[in-house]
Amino acid sequence: MTDPGAAPAGDGRASSDPRVLFDVRGRGAVVTGAASGLGFAIARVLARNGARVLLVDNTGETLETARQSLAAEGLEVRARMADVRDRAALDAAMQDAAGWGSGLDIVFANAGVSSGLGRRFGNGLAEIDDDRWQSVLDINLTGLMLTVQAAAARMNDGAGRIIVTSSVAGLAVDPLVGYAYSSSKAAVTLFAQNVATELATRGINVNVIAPGSFLTAIGAKNPGNTGMIDELTRATATGRIADPAEIEGLALLLASPAAGHITGSVFVIDGGVLATRN
């Protein structure tokens, strides 16, 4: 007779052994925005820990370079070009991942773009550009919705993981960051929590990572953001901007059996930015 309180497959309750708790071997994963930055770091940690990872991005040459660098380590990775605004392309990517091995278990909806500097740098309410505003929302919010929708349609029930990338800029007012970016990330957070309550009945957990400043193409490495680097650094309690590799531990946790009872939660990784403001 089945114990009604028994842990489902992929749930870490059956063991306190870290090799079991954080085991993603053989699990199928998709990471969007995987060609560089946080997405690449997430794809790398999953692959290095035994997952089959499909890297998705809309930058062909950079994406192939990312795939080759991971494949050179002997890791099980593939790459697929897709724009997150393209429903058909996302559906095809998820179908590809679901048909590879034992199916689709983990999706990181990570792709996103910046809207530039915020009102501290003269980009206030009156300076919001209609086209730029719409473009940022199309990618950061609608693109994420399409990614999560496509993932849910193909994901294995029982121990699925969907993790979306938001931002600390979506959790508190930040005059350093553009209106469109912070607005899109605030919406992403609530969207993911809403989805978490729906997919919980299928055994699919949905969580949010809210990064602070990282050395990425849309963050501190963006040449257009040079005026804010010192301010971003001063805003942290740690006194530094994070390397993308520092996302890996949190990403692995949320993708693993150890996160079996974690859903609808927001995980801030910002070097103490929000704590410093309080």
Q: What CA–CA distance (Å, rounded) separates 189 from 101?
A: 31
DSSP characters for 184-251?
HHHHHHHHHHHHHHHHGGGTEEEEEEEE--BSSTTTTT-GGGGGGHHHHHHHSSSSSPBPGGGGHHHH
* Angstrom distance (rounded) from CA 217 to CA 58: 14
Identify the CA nearest to 116 among candidates 224, 230, 234, 233. 224
Q: How much is the pLDDT for 122?
A: 81
CA distances from 246 to 34, 43, 83, 257, 270 (A): 16, 13, 26, 20, 10
CA–CA dist 260, 60 (Å, integer)? 35
Q: Which helix (H) or strand (E) holds 93?
A: helix 87-98
Give the model's pLDDT for residue 230: 82
Q: Has 179 been annotated as catalytic?
A: no
**Domain architecture of the chain: domains with CATH:** 21-269 (3.40.50.720)
Burial of 1 from C-beta contacts in 10 A (0-12 / 13-18 / 19+): exposed
- Look at residue 218 in the predicted model and tell me its pLDDT: 62
Give the phi and the psi of residue 208 in degrees, each rounded to 5: -125, 130
The whole-model pTM stands at 0.92
* β strands within 7-159, DSSP E: 28-32, 52-57, 77-81, 106-109
Q: Give 10-residue mean pLDDT values along the chain (278 residues).
A: 42 75 98 98 99 97 98 99 98 98 97 85 89 97 99 97 98 91 97 99 98 79 63 90 97 98 98 89
Q: How far apart are CA 140 and CA 114, in angstroms?
A: 9
List the catalytic residue out of 40, 179, 181, 214: 181
Identify which of 6, 64, 56 has the alpha carbon closest to the alpha carbon of residue 28: 56
pLDDT of residue 5: 41
Comparing CA positions, the residue from 39, 18, 33, 22 lying closest to residue 252 is 22
